[in-house]
Structure formats: C-alpha cells, structure tokens
Amino acid sequence: MTRASLDKQPHEVASMFDDVAERYDLTNDVISLGQARLWRKEVARAVDARPAQKVLDLAAGTATSSGPFAQAGAYVVPCDFSLGMLRVGKQRHPWMPFTAGDAMKLPFKDDTFDAVTISFGLRNVQDTDAALREMYRVTRPGGRVVICEFSEPTWGPFRTVYIEYLMRALPPVARTVCSNPDAYVYLAESIRSWPNQPQLAARLQGAGWSKVAYRNLTGGVVALHRGFKQS
C-alpha cells in the first residue's frame, strides 16, 4: 500500500499497524493533542458496560480501549487483525483474551455480545458495510454498538484548519514519535475521505441497526455513533 493509497488491502493495513504497535498509544496521544484519552472516556460512558456483560472491542490494538470495560466488571474480548498489536497488548495485559480477527468475518457465533464497539478502526476496514453487518450478527438481540471515529468538524472555518492540520502537520508530528510516519499519511488521508456523521448513520441503518444516533466530540473532529439490535 503506497502512502496515498486508500485501497485498504487487509494484509497491508495489518502490516502497517504491526510496524507502529510499540509506540502507537503514545503517538495517538501526541497527534490528538491529548484528546484521545478524553474520547476513550466518552466511549466507555456510551458503551456503559456492566458486570457479567460480554463486550467485543474491535480494532482494540494493544487493548488500551478495553481497560474501562474490564474495570466495569464486563468480560471484554480485545480483537484486532494486527498480530503485532496483539503481541504488544498481550505483553501489557496477559490476562485479557486477545483474539485475532477480521471485522468483515468475525470468529464469533451469532448473538454473542451485549455490546460491540470499535474506536478509530472502522475506516481501516476494506468493506465498511460488511463490518457493520458482522457487528450486528454477533450482537445479541437488545444489544448495542458504539462506534467512535474521526468525522467532519461542524464549523466551516475550523473544518478548513483541521484538514490542513491533518494533511500537513500530522505526518511531521508523527515522525517525532513514530518509526513509520508514512502510516500516518495514510491515516490522515483515510480520515479526510471518511463519510460524515449523517452518512455513517445511514450506513448503520442499512446494516440493520435501529435507534441510530450520533453526537459530536471536539466540535465534530470525532463522532460517537450508537445503534441497537432489535429484540
């Protein structure tokens, strides 16, 4: 996958994340200007994991996002298709049931999880709609999905500044803390080409999810989408 390619061949995307696994969490904190931790807290609040519930955390990487669900008493399964990410995560959290899996063909039975969540990973999946359908399949009736993803800032002047930051400032910033800055060129371009809030909501509805809603974080830089599987 070249720097500018958005074809998203799964093995190439996985390899890219393998390369940045060791410093991925640090890099995210730097390039998000510290906002990543606040976004994770909002995801945990939206998922609202409870004791004994089963939560599937897709694109979990090193499982930084999975911690709050485990702390709430839920049984959380961190799942990712990057073996490099999973290895680093297993070293840090050896007790978690890390699982290698592709979001387009999840290795779980129907109606397994009370909640499925994915943060900053859906846009890296080759077929978004297939992934949304798979999330629906493995969620139990009455269960929920929470998607946290970069989106479109709602204020025009800020949107322009934001796009400039993504395309011009993000790669040099990433270069200071990351061994593979080209990965962040890809990430910047994938963010710019990603559907906006109403468009992603429509795709969730198309995959079968009901009561679909979203709310913006940081002025729309990030959006939290939520949906339910009918009982």
Binding-site residue positions: 62, 80, 102-103, 119
Q: How far apart are CA 7 and CA 231, in angstroms?
A: 36
Is the CB of residue 16 less than 8 Å from the CB of residue 180? yes
- Amino acid 170 reads L
Q: How far apart are CA 201 and CA 205, in angstroms?
A: 6
Is the CB of residue 86 less than 8 Å from the CB of residue 63? no
Enumerate the known binding-site residues for S-adenosyl-L-methionine: 62, 80, 102-103, 119
Give CA 109 to chain center in angstroms.
Answer: 21
Residue 124 has, within 13 A of its CA and on its CB side, a CA count of 30
Give CA 110 to chain center in angstroms.
Answer: 21
Is the CB of residue 50 less than 8 Å from the CB of residue 72? yes
Q: What angle do CA 129, 117, 164 make, to 5 degrees?
A: 75
